[in-house]
Structure 1
Amino acid sequence: MARPSEKLIEAFRKTIHKLKNHAPYQWGHMGACNCGNLAQELTQMSKGEIHRYAMQKSGDWNDQLIDYCPTSGYPMDLMISRMIEAGLTVDELKHLETLSDPVILEKIPFERRVKIKKNNKEDVILYMETWLKILEDDFLKNLKIQIPENKRVKTFA
């Protein structure tokens, strides 16, 4: 699973918010699809810039992730590298584009999960919200591990 960080969690929150508030969504557009919308937040590039970079190589996100080479010098590979540096993996990005990560899907109720379509904006939002919850939970678990017991604030119930 992705390496949870404040930056990654915030990028997911902003992406979800934008998608819920009428951000351009077009599954066939490299800068406005599932990965493209998250890439906008993680790279601070516009959908047009992302699309232009992607068109310098052939294929959709999945094809470009298969061919990803961090030392190629292609702008798309540099952008993917920035997403990986933010805590994601190539496999997670492939799954995001097709809404297919079994760990994330497992958290979605069965009756909803079986109806998910990779190119449906509402399904992308649900998938990202589910993933965000997993990231937030993992982030909080990691914080608890890093704070020694004697340094934690005591609460009274």
Structure 2
Amino acid sequence: MARPTPELIDALRRTAQKLTNGAPYQWGHMGGCNCGNLAQELTKLSKDQIHRYAMQRYGDWNEQVKDYCSTSQMPIDLVINEMLNAGLTLEDLKHLEKLDDRLVLLQFPLEKRFLKHNVRDDVVAYMHAWANLLEEQLLDKIQLSDLQPATQLVFAN
């Protein structure tokens, strides 16, 4: 599961909001699919740039992740590197493309867990649920002892 970072949580929510507001979505397009839309947000590349990079190698996101090499300097590997640096794992990318991470799906009521991987509204719901789960994990990691004590104010009489 992804490393819960404010950057990743925010990127998931921004991506979901953009999809809700009508951002281009096309599951069969490497830059406009589930991973492609999140990649746009994390890398600031356009959907066409991401698609062009991915087409330099064969396959969908699952194949790209399977063939990923952190030192290859292939453009799609550089995109994946940025996504990993934001807190994602290779498994997260596979799950995002299929909307099938068990922990994310457990955030939904039983009757709403059967998401379709290529339906915009399901992608939006999945990203919101995932962001909420990561936010809970992040908040659980914060200990009150980690916070700096407030300085005491002394009032003179």
Matched pairs, number: 151
**Does the C-alpha gap of structure 1 residues 50 and 110 become closer, same or farther in structure 2, counting only changes over 3 Å?**
same
Say if 2:102 is the partner of 1:102: yes
Give the C-alpha shift of residue 151 in structure 1: 2.7
Give the C-alpha shift of residue 106 in structure 1: 1.3
- Where relative contact order (Cα < 8 A, 6+ residues apart) is larger, the structure is 2
Report the equivalent of 1:43: 43
Instruction: Name the larger-Rg structure.
Output: 2
Report the equivalent of 2:71: 71
Please report the TM-score for the alignment, with normalisation by the length of structure 1: 0.91
Say if 2:125 is the partner of 1:141: no
Distance of 2:15 and 2:79 partners within structure 1: 17
Letter in 2 for 1:68: Y
Identical amino acids, percent of aligned pairs? 54
Letter in 2 for 1:71: T
Distance of 2:138 and 2:98 partners within structure 1: 25
Give the C-alpha shift of residue 13 in structure 1: 1.5
3-state SS of the aligned residue for 2:142?
A: helix
Q: What 5-or-longer segments of structure 2 have no aligned partner?
A: 152-157
Compute the RMSD of aligned alpha carbons. 1.6
Letter in 1 for 2:43: T
Give the C-alpha shift of residue 87 in structure 1: 0.2
Distance of 2:150 and 2:3 partners within structure 1: 23
Question: 1:67-112 deviations in whole A, cap 9, x for unaligned?
Answer: 1111111000111011001000000110000001011111111111
Question: 1:5-63 deviations in whole A, cap 9, x for unaligned?
Answer: 12111111110110010000000000000000000010010001000000000000011
Letter in 1 for 2:122: D
Please report the TM-score for the alignment, with normalisation by the length of structure 2: 0.91
Report the equivalent of 2:154: none
Q: What 5-or-longer segments of structure 1 have no aligned partner?
A: none
